[in-house]
Amino acid sequence: MKVNFEHGCLELLRGDICQEKVDAIVNAANAALAGGGGVDGAIHAAAGPTLMEECRLLGGCPTGETVATGAGRLAAKWVFHTVGPIWQGGDSGESKLLASCYQTALALAGQLGAESIAFPSVATGVYRFPLAAAAAIALGVITRHLKTNSPPFRIRMVLFDPTTLAAYQNALGQFLDPGQAIVIN
């Protein structure tokens, strides 16, 4: 599924983020940047040991922030490590922190001149952020970004399973202008 905006496009697809040929791949990392399971483990395995070596030099990353490393053996130029919030019921600033993950990754992409970026669904795995709410937050940040004239101009949400893809597809409508076309691929 693809939607064109004033200054770029958003694609929602089911796939393996490690296979993306974009300037930056976003990793749903832990605060220690120590590798882990899920998306984080898959990215580290695909990128190879140089990714962990670079992560160790960074010394961690606060929740809601994003830092960059090289991409090792991945097709991307960079891996952006962002740390999502652990869901604690919704009254501990989790929504604001999750929005910040996407905002800081997009800002970093702009600073580095990345024109394309691939995101996973941040914090919806072991961090248990409710999927529908996470999709709305992510797509709100991304669609606002695509209405400005700043890179990245091609943003892909690469979602691991049909349930996650469906949640993002369902949330997308609330961020489209009347009559805005959706291309189904």
Domain range list for the chain: 2-183
- Whether pLDDT at 172 is above 90: yes
Place of tokens 């990392």: 29
Place of tokens 């691929």: 185
Mean pLDDT of the 127-155 span: 95
Percent of the chain past pLDDT 90, that is, above it, reads: 92
What number does CATH give the domain 2-183? 3.40.220.10
Q: How far apart are CA 106 and CA 89, in angstroms?
A: 27
Q: How far apart are CA 27 and CA 41, in angstroms?
A: 9
Q: How far apart are CA 65 and CA 108, in angstroms?
A: 10
Place of tokens 């097709």: 75
Query: Are 28 and 82 in contact, with CB atoms under 8 Å apart?
Result: yes
65-105 pLDDT, tens digit per residue, is: 999 999 999 999 999 999 999 999 999 999 999 999 999 99
Give the catalytic positions in this structure: 40
- Compute the 3-state secondary structure of the chain and give helix, strand, coil in percent, each to the nearest 5: 40, 20, 40
* Phi and psi, residue 120, nearest 5°: -90, -175
